[in-house]
Amino acid sequence: MTDIYINSAACISVQDTLNENFFENLQPFDSSQVLKAVEPVYKEFIPPAMIRRMSKTVKMSSVASQYALKEAGIENPDAIIVGTGMGCSQDSEKFLKNVLDNNEEFLTPTYFIQSTHNTVAGQIALGLQCHAYNFTYVNSSSSLEFSFLDAKLQINDGEAEHVLVGSTDEQTERTMELYELSKTIKKEEHLPVDYLNSATNGVIWGEGASFFVLGKDKTDSSYAGLKDIRISNKVDFEETQTFIEEFLIKNNLNAQDIDAVILGFSGDAKSDDYYTKAMELFTNSALLYYKHLSGEFNTASGFSTFMACHILKKQAIPEVMMINAFKKEEIKTVLLYNHLRGNDHSLVLLERA
């Protein structure tokens, strides 16, 4: 297998991650049920006439993808691959509201056309006039990981040299109301959240868009080597450590070789046990968490990948992410472990470029 490098990383999140100084100014959130992304001034990146027709996730993704391509020095990628859990929820809700308000008659197709999950990848391609491979993965919390796998295959098979890979999800008012009713989101009386020792179910919900340019060659802008990915829809709690150990063995590693582990603690007592179980393996690693900085959402792993890239490049770990006080002098390998409420488990192994 050819080495694959992450040559750029851009993120719009509930942190000000487009700011060059974001790494030193990360702020945890524990007292809101829903977190909103810090959005850029879109008219600086997108023609005003187009902005009005774009949902939030399309706008966030358009800007994040522009940042990623510019950093990598790529004008037109050989493929565009996007992962999303909920797609363009805003336009989906608008379409369904039109259906109800108009008794299923005299409907304009615009909202329906713009509500499809592949709208994001399509809009990016239209903006770039890119006629290359264009694909969207909708696999809940492992959508980005499937996109990475596809990109690796494209590059390894010689089908592409530079692939734009992204993940994106937005919030909508009605969906958040439904999440409250289904107890997906924390009740107000259970706030603030202790992410590492929560005794209540539910999460604080976030949103964001993260984009990366993957290539077969290491460049001056390279952040990390994307070594391997493992995805499983279901993992028995008792098999958590085996799930991780088998992945490490496949890559000729053991737990002692991992310099930092980024875990997806979300404050959901019912499913965070997986991360607690995983921590027991890594007695010689820096243990980190991130969803107190990003919120939980289907593609929150995009934020953790973005942070891992900067940790590897800067050779520094933000104090606000640390679970333990362990630090190695050099950070060569980072393991990311994520799932959403106990389903769709993923492992991503990154190495210093």
CATH of the domain at 249: 3.40.47.10
**Residue 2 confidence (pLDDT):** 65
From the list 30, 146, 132, the residue with the least C-alpha distance to 85 is 146
Q: What is the pLDDT of residues 192-240, one digit of tens each?
A: 999 999 999 999 999 999 999 999 999 999 999 999 999 999 999 999 9
**Residue 1 confidence (pLDDT):** 54
45 by Cβ neighbours in 10 Å (0-12 / 13-18 / 19+) ranks as: middle
Instruction: State how far the Cα of 171 lies from the Cα of 108, in Å rounded to an integer.
Output: 23
Cα torsion 156, 157, 159, 164: sign: negative
Same domain, 192 and 238: no
Q: With a cut of 50, list the residues of the chain below it in pLDDT.
A: none
Between the CA of residue 171 and those of 18, 35, 124, 279, what are the distances in Å? 20, 9, 20, 31
Q: Please give the backbone phi and psi of residue 324, each rounded to the nearest 5 degrees, phi first.
A: -115, 180
Q: Which two tokens stand for residue 5?
A: 């490098």
**Residue 94 confidence (pLDDT):** 77
**Residue 3 confidence (pLDDT):** 79
Enclosing domain of residue 238: 224-352
pTM summary value: 0.94
Same domain, 110 and 159: yes
Residues in Cβ contact with 41 at an 8 Å cutoff, skipping those fewer than 6 apart: none
**Residue 26 confidence (pLDDT):** 97
Instruction: State how far the Cα of 195 lies from the Cα of 275, in Å rounded to an integer.
Output: 11
Same domain, 210 and 274: no
Helix axes 89-101, 56-72, angle to 10 degrees: 160
Number of domains present in the structure of the chain? 2
Same domain, 317 and 174: no
Domain boundary among 160, 194, 215: 215
